Structure formats: structure tokens, C-alpha cells
């Protein structure tokens, strides 16, 4: 078990962690993309609902 944790510790030292600036940029890209996708799906839902109501 100790050997495992030593190996994990060595691997974690090799990880290239992103900077704060990179994290902020990546997070903002995810948030903006999620909002745009939600708006698109909401518009599709509204359009299809209106179309269905027109025929019913």
C-alpha cells in the first residue's frame, strides 16, 4: 500500500497543472457554450411547441 502511494506521489509531481488564467479561460468557454446551447434548445422547444399548438 505504501508503494502505491509513493507511486501516486511521484506521478502527481509530473502533472502539468493549468495556470489560474488557463482555468478561468476554460471555465468561461464552458459557461458561454452552455448558455448558448441552452438558448438554442429553448428556441427549438418554443418553436416546436408553437408549431404543435398551431395544429391542435
Q: Domain range holding 38?
A: 19-56
pTM value is 0.68
- Round to the nearest angstrom and report the end-to-end CA distance of the chain: 66
In a domain, 11, yes or no: no
pLDDT range class, residue 56, cuts 50, 70, 90: confident
User: Is 9 among the domain residues?
Assistant: no
Residue that is written with C-alpha cell 502511494 in the block: 5
User: Residue 53 falls within a domain, yes or no?
Assistant: yes
- Burial readout 11-33 (b: 16 or more C-beta within 10 A, e: otherwise): eeeeeeeeeeeeeeeeeeeeeee
Looking at the domain assignment, is residue 41 inside a domain?
A: yes
Is 14 part of a structural domain of the chain? Answer: no
Flag whether 3 is in a domain. Answer: no
Does residue 40 fall inside a structural domain? yes
| Number of domains comprising the chain | 1
Q: What is the per-residue pLDDT across 16-32, written as a single tens digit (0 to 9) for each?
A: 999 999 999 999 999 99
Amino acid at each position: 500500500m505504501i508503494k502505491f502511494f509513493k507511486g501516486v506521489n511521484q506521478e502527481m509531481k509530473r502533472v502539468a497543472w493549468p495556470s489560474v488564467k488557463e482555468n478561468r479561460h476554460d471555465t468561461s468557454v464552458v459557461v458561454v457554450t452552455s448558455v448558448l446551447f441552452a438558448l438554442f434548445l429553448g428556441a427549438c422547444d418554443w418553436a416546436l411547441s408553437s408549431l404543435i399548438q398551431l395544429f391542435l
